[in-house]
Amino acid sequence: MGMMQMSPVRTHHYAVAEADFEEFTARRATLITAIRAAHPGLTETRLIRQQDGTYTDAWHWDSLDQMISAAADVVNFPQAGAAMSLVKDNVAVDGVVIDQR
């Protein structure tokens, strides 16, 4: 068995008011499109509604350098502020996929 590439992941956990959810997902989609245009190393995003009604949003990258570069550049994306203005209690954590089946 070959060693899998360990892809870096930035995961956000936050809440979104139900009344804002549709607008939030539209803004999030616009943000993802803009980030991918400038930083094509963004390979996958997953938005998960947790049982308690909060959300986990995982962004997978080709490399750590690409993730760091995009994070440093996020201030240049007004779409980020627009999307994040609709969330509360945001916590971000970086990690690496070590097993995927």
Dump pLDDT digits (tens) for 39-66: 999 999 999 999 999 999 999 999 999 9
Residue 100 lies in a domain: no
Residue 42 lies in a domain: yes
Q: What range defines the domain where residue 85 resides?
A: 8-95
What CATH number did the domain enclosing 19 receive? 3.30.70.100
Three-state DSSP class for 12? strand
**What is the torsion angle, in degrees rounded to the nearest 10, for the CA atoms of residue 82, residue 90, residue 61 and residue 71?**
60
Tell me the two tokens of residue 78. 């007004």
Tell me the two tokens of residue 64. 């750590």
Residues of the chain with pLDDT under 70: 1-4
Number of folded domains in the chain? 1
- At residue 47, the pLDDT reads 98
Residue 2 lies in a domain: no
Residue 82 lies in a domain: yes
State the pTM of this model. Answer: 0.92
Residue 32 lies in a domain: yes
Residue 101 lies in a domain: no
